[in-house]
Amino acid sequence: MHEMALCEGIVEIVEEEARRRSFSRVKTVCLEIGALSHVAPEAMKFCFAAVAARTIAHGAVIEVVELPGVAWCMACSRSVEIAQRYEPCPCCGSFQLQVTAGEEMRVKELEVD
Ligand SMILES: [Zn+2]
């Protein structure tokens, strides 16, 4: 489950921010998860609770903003929204798509005390 490793990375980010901004408690961690990132929001919430125990992020709530997958269709010469990688263009059915967004998983913001 790669969500575990991702959550460890998030806890590291939170701890670094805590040192920089000197806060002592994190209430919410807001994540942006792209539709094409292969990251399951539910798994992230579950893993985070386990990984964050006994760290400054203990008890923090994970909030997920899901971003759509976007690809550039070479046949249409425009951006189209796709739900999965290797899907054909929803407009023309072409498979000549280049993914331009939706693969990311990042910490958008932290709500702290
Ligand atoms: Zn197209």
Residue 41 has pLDDT above 90, yes or no: yes
Angle at 46 between CA 57 and CA 58, to 5 degrees: 15
Residue 1 has pLDDT above 90, yes or no: no
- Provide the whole-model pTM: 0.86
Listed residues: CB within 5 A of ion ligand 1: 73, 75-76, 89, 91-92, 94
User: What pLDDT does 7 receive?
Assistant: 96
Each residue of 45-103: pLDDT tens digit? Answer: 999 999 999 999 999 999 999 999 999 999 999 999 999 999 999 999 999 999 999 99
CA 96 / ligand 1 centre spacing (Å): 8
User: Which residues is 28 bridged to in the sheet?
Assistant: 61, 111
CA 43 / ligand 1 centre spacing (Å): 33
Q: Euclidean distance between the first and final Cα of the chain, in Å? A: 31
CA 92 / ligand 1 centre spacing (Å): 4
CA 104 / ligand 1 centre spacing (Å): 23
Token pair of 75, please? 């046949």
